[in-house]
Each structure stands twice: as C-alpha cells, then as structure tokens.
Amino acid sequence: MSGSEGTREISTENDSVTGLSLEQEREVILGITEDDEPQAKEGDTFYLISFRWWRTWSAFVNQNHTTSSSSSILQRPPSIDNSDLICESSPDNSTIDILDTLVEGTDYILVTEKIWNQFYEWYGGGPTLARKAIIRGSSQTELTVEVYPLRLQLHLMPRVDHSYIRMSRRETVGELHRKACEIFGLDSDQVNIWDYYGRRKHALLNDLDKTLDDVNIQTDQDILVEVIDHSGSNTTTVQVNGSLGNGPFTVLEPSRMNHSITRGSSTNNGFSRSYNSEISQFQNMSLATEKGPTSVGVSTRGSCIGQIGLLNFGNTCFMNSAIQCLVHTPEFARFFNGDFHQEINWQNPLGMEGELAMAFGELLRRLWAPGRTAFAPRAFKAKLARFAPQFGGHNQHDSQELLAFLLDGLHEDLNRVKNKPYIKSRDADGRPDEQVADEYWANHISRNDSIIVDVCQGQYKSTLICPVCDKISVTFDPFMYLSLPLQSATPRIMTVTVFSCDGSLVPATCTVTVPKLGRSRDLIQALSNVCSLKQNEKILLAEIQNHAINRFFEDPHMSLSSIKDDACLGAYKIPKLMTNNRYLLLVNRHEDPEGMWMPYGTPLVFPISNDATITRGDIQLIAHTMLSPMLKPENAAPITSSGPPSATNSSEKEYSPCKENGDSLVKLPLKLVNGNNDLIDISIGEEKTVNLSSSSMSVVLYIDWSPELVKKFEMRYLENLPEVSRNGHGPKKTRIEPLSLYTCIEAFLREEPLVPEDMWFCPQCKERRQASKKLDLWRLPEVLVIHLKRFAYSRTMKSKLETLVNFPIHDFDLTKYVANKNNNHPQIYELYALANHYGNLGSGHYTAHVKLIHENKWYNFDDNHVSAIGEDDVRSNAAYVLFYRKAKTVDAPVSSGAHSSSAQNFFFFR
C-alpha cells in the first residue's frame, strides 16, 4: 500500500500481529536495507517516518529479553504516527505540507519504498509522506532525496490573482508553464513566465526544456504569469526590475527604493543526502517570522543591543559566525545604519545590482535592533545562493571563503567608481619603494573605492627574484585579509645518521625535533646544531633506499612531509666552499649464497671537483679516508698523507688507513661504474687517470666486502641505519607549546620559491621561472582580518590542524613588520571578534566570539544561543578567523569605536 494517503489503525498488542518475533522483524528490515541502499537511483520513492516512532520500534526489536522481569520488557509500538511532522493547516487540501523545521536523524528518518510497505503492512498508520530521489550537483551524479520540493507563488498579471504550487527542482520550465496555465485557465500561447525573484523581473523563462534547478529557481520565490495580448506584447505595466504592489504597478527609482529583504523570499533547498545520514535543520519558512524591527536609534541603559542570535536552518553555522563578526565591526555598523543607499553602485557589472548590499544592510539593522529574539536569515541566505550558488543548499561550507565572497561582493555593490579607468601598472625599475607604492595605491583607488576598501584593505610589497638572471621585480598589491600558515605548530621527531667524508668521526645517530610541516632547511639547521658542524662544513642530506642513495635533498624549501616515517636518512658533512663538484658514492656489496655481489649497508659520499684530475690511486685513497673511522684499532697505524684530492687547499691531515708492508695502502676491492655502465677495477693501475662521465652528477664506486675484509672494520656503523621515526626509541614527547601569532606572521613573510604551477614569466629571460617570492607588509588597514590556515590539503588526504595559536587580544604590535619606514605611526591592534571552527572537516561547527565595545564585554554567538564569556575564554585551538581593529593612539581623538562604557559613543546613527 505504498500509495496510500490515509492511515490504517490495527491492533498492536505485544502478541505478534506480524507473525514474526522481534528478532525476525529486525532481520527483515536489515535485509531490505542492505538490498536497497546500493541500488538507489533517480526517481525512486522514499518515505518519511517520525523519528519518535522509529526510535520506539528500534528499541523494541533490539531489547534484551534475558531479563526475568516482565515489566521491563518493552511493548510493541503502536501504529506509525507521522502527525508530529506535518503542518496543522496547508495552503490547500490537495497536499500535506510537512513542518519546515525538521531535521533528519532528529525528527524523521527516510526509508525506501520496500521498507515503508513492510512497516505499513505490519503496523498501518500514517499519513504517508512520499518523496522522490533526484540527481543534483555540477556533475549531475549526486543522488539526493528532495524532502522539501520547491514552493512557488504564482502571480497572474494584469488580472491580480495568485496561487501556490509545489514542484520538484527536476521538473522543467515547460511543466511550470503548463501547470500555471491549468491553474489560471489560460491557453499556453497567452502567457509568458518570468523569474520574479524579490518581485522584480529577472529573466523570461522561455527555454522550456531546462529544469527549475538549471534556471536557479529558489523555494518560496515569486513567479510572474504574464498575460500577453494577441499582438504578442504584454498587457501589464510592470517593467523589468519593477516593483509589484497591491494596486497598480509602480516603478521606483533604485536610489529611492526602501528595500527590505525581510519581505523577500526565503530559501530552503530541502534535500537529504542519504536516508541514514545526519541532515540539516530547517526552520519555519513563514515570511512573517522574518519581519521585525529594522531601525536602530540611540541605545538606552538596560536595553539589549547587539545580542541577537541567528537560527541554524541547515548547516548555516558557517554563515552565522561570519555574519556576526562582520555586523559587529563598528565601522560597518555605523555605515549600514546610516543612509548607505546613496553609495550603492547599481550599474556595476562586477556587482550584484546592489542587492547584496541591501540584503546585508537590512540584516545588520535587524541584528542591532533592541531585544534578544533570534531569527533565521532566510532572505539573506536566498540572496546569497542566488549570486553564489556554491553556498546554496544545506551543506557545510568554509566560513572564511564566505567572508571573502561577502567582502568582495559588498565592495563591488558599494564601489563609488562608476567608470573604471584602464591603468597599466609599471614595474619599480629601481625607483624608490615609497614612490612606487603610492603609485600602485593611487591606481588601485582610482578603480576601487568603497567602505570595504576604506576599512579592510591594506597593501603589501611583493619581490620576485629570477633564479637564473637575478632579475628583481617589485610590485605593490592590495589585500583584504592575511592567510597565515601554521606550519611550525606541531613538532616532528626525526632520526638521521651523520657521516663525515674526511674520516674524522665515526658515524653517529642524531635525533632532532623539527616542525611537522617544516622544510629540509629546518632539518639541516637542527642537525647542524647537534653534530658539531665546523665553520667550513655543511650538511648534504640524502634518502637511503635499498642500500643506495635514492635522492639528495639539495632544495632547502622541500617539504619534510615528503619524507615518510619509515624512510632512512643520511647526513654527510662536506666542505662548504666546494663548487662545480659531483659526488662519489661508495656503495657496499657482499656475496650472496649464489655467488652474486649484492648491495648492502649504507653508502658513503665524497665530493670531488669536476676540474680535478683523478687517478685510480686517488680513488683508493678516498675510499680509505671514508672508511678509516670504522677501522678496528688493531688494524690501524697512523701515517701522514696529503689527503684525497679535493677543491680545497686544506692542510695535511692525520688518518688511519690499512697498510701493507708499512709503505703503501692495502688495495681495496673497488670497481668504478663509468659512463658506459662498465665496471672498472680500481685495485690495479693506480697511476691511470679515471675518466668520469660528464653528464652525471654522481659516480658510483662499489666496494666488495669479503669475509676477511669485513673482520678488519666495525661494520655495525654501516649495516644498521635507523628509520626516521623509531617507535619507542625517540626522546620523551614534550608538551607542545602554543604557536605565537607573530611566528605565523614571520612564516607568511618568509622568502619562498613559487610552486611549479605558478611560475613567473621573467621579462629579462623571456621564460617562465620558479622565482623566489618575498612578501612585506607596507600599508595596514583599519580592520585587519587574519585567516589561520587550519585546513591542509594534499593529493591523498585532507586534515585539520588543531594547533593552539597564542594570539594577542590587546596590543597586537605589527610595527616592526611594516617595511614602509616613512610610516612612523605605531601599528597596534585590538581583537574584537573571531570565528571558531570545532570538529573535523566533514562534521564541524562554527561559532563566533564578539566583543561588544559599548559594554567592553565578550559574548559567544553559537547560532541562536548568545551568552557572556570571560576574556580568558576567547583563546582556544578552534580560533579560525581573527578580526582586529587598529588601536587609537593616546593623542588621537577618541572615535566612536574606542573603548568606552558609554553606549551613545557607538550607537548614535544619523
């Protein structure tokens, strides 16, 4: 009885009316679920069941019957009762409307048609609430259940009439056209259908094959059904972007219109992503609930000002937290509570026809109204979804990405520049930085001039250096916010074996602590500090794999995240000043049972000059030098030698090679791989010159270890190379200190190479180069927005950094980071708001901490819950976006946003 619209009452005493035990009932439903879920497809019907009833049934079939007390045995649930899901009254009697506040997993669950039929057969009840599965998403592969179909209001003109209609987003414009004609009794050639969002003509819906989703129709929006005469012209006086009243149509001048988005349409993209997942919460869509006081005057003592929360109507916490931070920015509160309409740029092609600014202004006024009654910003969400579809629906989004969109969109809607001049920026070409910076800023202001620029935009200096021709390019670019890395937050303990190429020290294992997301230069610096590196030495870092050098880490900017915990690393001390050199790699081999010489142990490295003439005897001497620290004492006898050939003019050194007859070195069984991959026996013809391959930066030299030769050396130094992270052998884990916000600033300003995908076209080389880039702060804004980059993305994983950042609440001093030395004013900021993110990427939650300046008191805005908090509670590892205001100096006049206990200082709006 899947199509039943009524209810059926049956007796449900604890004696089985299904003929099945409770265990059998459970197994039947589980079996259907396993069969149905993988086969779900577009057009399938799903059914809503009250979660209250579902919970009762689940408890019944999952109860433990081992108890002997009959009173503790749960009774069989009564008939299915969905009455708590439906509205008491509907627009008409033909459909059953469900409440708009329902949340899947809290108020209802979705089940397949087979499961509903089985429950209905067993228990009866109702009413039946069927919904269709549709395909959504940019790739048209996302299967969702349309719990809330579109609810549209049709306006018939010129005959003033209206009607409500429910339609699926997958239905076409042609079907909307047909249904409208049926409702109003019109012929199809008599009408035009218009997208009448906000009761303004936006687009003629004449592509009958497109779906309502394709043409961006939102729920609870208006549709204009326009009757046309036989000549084909419309018979109404409504103009495009006109306004519809209760009487004759009037067109208002945009600058004089008193827009109120609270009377606009609200959105509810009511989808369920799966019938067993957590789903968004939907609040009441009644337009009346969005009407409220919109004017703000002088505050009075005892009134609640700025403490209104926002209801969460389906994963909208990301939006709520961003809105609270923006509306509590004093400069924006003053601006949008004033006569901001005169600054709206209605014709800006990059803007949104002033609609975003109007919507935000109306929302801000409501949030600054007296009282504490929370409301759902549905009209604003609808406007947002219209201009930024990526924020539509009820998925969780990034609060910082929304902030970036809002600031940019508000700027374009409020840009005072009506006709942007074309200006080609010039490179610095040796001119003073101050002159170039002012020129860039003037060019920027000539095209971009708004309250957003006045308050939030700063300027930084960008320096690019070509790695080939050393061309230096300096530009000065605007910024709206700073995105700071948290790369130094978490330490990583790494174990590396250090070798000396001059034979001075035996190999030593060093364990150091480096930033988890640091770079190879951090590891090299840490090793240099612990291994007694000489002033004329440097570290050459290499990864050892299969007893050979897999790669050298010569790029200081290489990320340490590319080194796995089970990798083996070798650090080789080499002369610092050597240039034009290559590396001789001494690879150890031993004979396997089948008589094959196979690599084993750890290779050693020695730098040799490309300009030096190398003989076979020199190669023997180099091998003896590298191996001498491992020589057992009974086999060693010190001699003086000029040392192996190198590019340095170091003095003679003492070392202990193995000798034969006291005169010459024992010939080690060495074989050199030449450019043709042939093995050259180095143990004979020591005066012969070795011809090295000119194309390779490394030369492989094998040493074949016989059992007799092994006895003369301490081979344990070469045989057991530890892994980077040795479980249980590292030092005791220490408490992680909070990361300073100043450290994040310094990491942001540090010189870095451009990523390969973003290489720079050098104007001197005429080629794309991986230049190094250095940023410097030059001009700081009144309000500084700082984004902490907590979300890390790679090809294989996404993660969140839970690092506690120690950010200043007072006296955030950036003076020393400003490169413009002509600006001698202190650059000190005070924190007044921040957005927090709790949880992981998929199921996180956003809140906002806001300081009400007129009260000098902090509040936590958790959707509709607003509560006072102490200043000590502001800092946490959930801090995500920080909002700072420039502090006023002592001798400067106190602005309306200064610290004051007087509400009039801040809340008097003209």
Residues annotated as catalytic are 317, 845
CA-CA distance, 503 to 622, in Å (whole number)? 9
Please, are residues 493 and 516 in contact by the beta-carbon 8 Å criterion? no
DSSP 243: B
First CA to last CA distance, the chain: 65
Q: Cis peptide before 826, with omega less than 30 degrees from 0?
A: no
Q: Is 457 helix (H, G, I), strand (E, B) or coil?
A: coil
Q: Torsion-angle region of residue 316: left (phi > 0), alpha (psi -120 to 50) or beta?
A: alpha
Buried b (16+ CB within 10 A) or exposed e, 599-625: ebbbbbbbbbbeeeebbbbbbbbbbbb
144 bridge partner residues: 134
Q: What is the DSSP string of 100-168?
A: TT-BBTTTEEEEEHHHHHHHHHHH-EE---EEEEEEETTTT-EEEEEEE-EEEEEEEETTTEEEEEEE-
Q: What is the DSSP string of 489-528?
A: SSEEEEEEEEEETTS-S--EEEEEEEETT-BHHHHHHHHH
CA-CA distance, 154 to 221, in Å (whole number)? 9
CB atoms within 10 A of CB 806: 15
CA-CA distance, 57 to 66, in Å (whole number)? 19
| Separation of CA 310 from chain center | 24
Q: By CB neighbour count within 10 A (0-12 exposed, 13-18 middle, 19+ buried), where does 208 fall?
A: middle
Please, are residues 792 and 517 in contact by the beta-carbon 8 Å criterion? yes
Please, are residues 644 and 627 in contact by the beta-carbon 8 Å criterion? no
Which position has the token pair 């109860």? 63
Computed from CA positions of residues 471, 476, 478, 484, in that sequence, does the dihedral angle turn out positive or negative? positive
Which position has the token pair 């009243």? 245
Q: Cis peptide before 158, with omega less than 30 degrees from 0?
A: yes
Please report, as a single letter, which amino acid is at residue 481.
Answer: Y
Report which secondary-structure segment, H or E, holds 367: helix 355-367
CB atoms within 10 A of CB 847: 21
**Of residues 580, 581, 577, 597, the one with CA closest to residue 589:** 597
Q: Which long-range contacts (CB under 8 A, 24 or more apart) does 161-170 make?
A: 164/91, 164/92, 166/95, 167/212, 168/132, 168/134, 168/212, 169/134, 169/136, 169/211, 169/212, 169/213, 169/217, 170/134, 170/135, 170/146, 170/211, 170/212, 170/213
CA-CA distance, 39 to 44, in Å (whole number)? 10
Strand intervals (E) in 309-466:
458-465
Determine the number of helices (DSSP H) and then strands (DSSP E) in the chain: 17, 45
CA-CA distance, 48 to 149, in Å (whole number)? 14
Q: Which tokens sit at 213?
A: 């989703």
CA-CA distance, 343 to 341, in Å (whole number)? 5
What backbone torsions phi and psi does residue 834 show, to the nearest 5 degrees?
Answer: -160, 150
CA-CA distance, 241 to 203, in Å (whole number)? 10
